Structure 1
Amino acid sequence: MEQRIGPSSKPLEGAGFDPAFIPGLTSPMAAEPDGTKAEGEPEDAKPAEESAAEESLVEADEEEAPADGPVFEASDRRASFTADHKGVRLALDDQNCEFRWDEIGAVETETTRFGKRFTITVHTPDRRWYPIEIEAKSRSVFPEWERELDAVLDAYFEDDAQKEQPEQPEEAGSED
């Protein structure tokens, strides 16, 4: 006769035991120790899941393909800022946010007078702003960062005034 070593009760679930517990959501199913399938599980479930995962990886690779154009990246040990053809991404520790170009009202930069902090603030049309501070190795990189960010903004960011007013051809000359 086989005997089990250890407790025979199932582990308790809930917020007191699992900080990620959210009432109403089901917990993940535990894998069967002997490799048996649950009733009603299709025979080819694993290959279908694997093929779906491969398809999503291919789609992700296609999305990640960089477009021909300028890219600006600045980061330090805690924060990072990236601006490219997709938009702007900010990250601070484990917090991330992403803005498409049509969600941005303005991008502002600021440097401290004596320190090595480069502040980039993303303003949205609904009057919210998202600042991030990047600590540079030296103040000498600030002009380079300004030029690179300006190149990205010139390439991808469109002001509302530019969107509303179509370009008007210049008059060749006036007749008297």
Structure 2
Amino acid sequence: MEQRIGSSSQPLEGAGFDPAFIPGLTSPASRPTEEDEPEQKPEVAETEEAGTASADTAEAAPSEQEEDTEVDGPVFEASDRRARLVADHRGVRLSLDDQECEFRWDEIGAVETETARFGKRYTVTVHTPDRRWYPIEIEAPARSHFKEWDAQLDAVLDAYFEEDAG
């Protein structure tokens, strides 16, 4: 009879060991700087800079305008001393202490709310289509805020969240 010496358990995977396991938790890769780009001939660089400067400005302008301008839609925001939840036209953003994650509306399968039977905890869980869920608990100043928060979150979900009919 053969016996193996050592552990038979497999290495663990998941968010506890790899923060990149959760989409939206880590920041996107930074753009290369001028120092990272290879050297070009001066006359070629000048003509390319003139052509790409207008293209870069045209591409960057809509995203900057989108973030700077206020959208006339519903916004839900709830926070306590540690946790914060924001739902608006861009999606849902969850923050707990120094950890943050952001979900665009097309990355969300469902949003579920739950209130504690006793106490003042308001739990919002974001479900993704790949069967993962991300709950956040926010302590309300009073239990009377639960109905108000449910109504505000429902208004945001009705305005921006589209369920696939099929």
TM-score (norm 1): 0.58
Gaps of 5+ in 2: 1-56
Moved over 3 A (4+): 57-61
Instruction: Give the equivalent residue in structure 1 for 2:134.
Output: 130
Higher relative contact order, structure no. (Cα contacts within 8 Å, ≥ 6 residues apart): 2
For these two proteins, the number of residue pairs brought into alignment is: 111
Gaps of 5+ in 1: 1-54, 165-176
The root-mean-square deviation of aligned C-alpha atoms, in Å, is 2.2
Q: Percent identity?
A: 74
- 3-state SS of 1:62 partner: helix
- 3-state SS of 2:74 partner: coil
> 1: CA distance between counterparts of 2:95 and 2:61?
25
Shift of 1:99: 0.4
After superposition, the C-alpha distances for 1:71-121 in whole angstroms (9 at most, x for unaligned) are 000000100000000000000000000000000000000000111000000
> Which residue of the other structure, out of 118, 122, 140, is the alignment partner of 1:114?
118
> 2: CA distance between counterparts of 1:90 and 1:75?
10
Shift of 1:67: 1.3
After superposition, the C-alpha distances for 1:147-173 in whole angstroms (9 at most, x for unaligned) are 000000000001111xx4xxxxxxxxx
> 2: CA distance between counterparts of 1:160 and 1:91?
27
Larger radius of gyration: 1
After superposition, the C-alpha distances for 1:3-37 in whole angstroms (9 at most, x for unaligned) are xxxxxxxxxxxxxxxxxxxxxxxxxxxxxxxxxxx
Instruction: Give the equivalent residue in structure 2 for 1:103.
Output: 107
Instruction: Give the equivalent residue in structure 2 for 1:63.
Output: 66
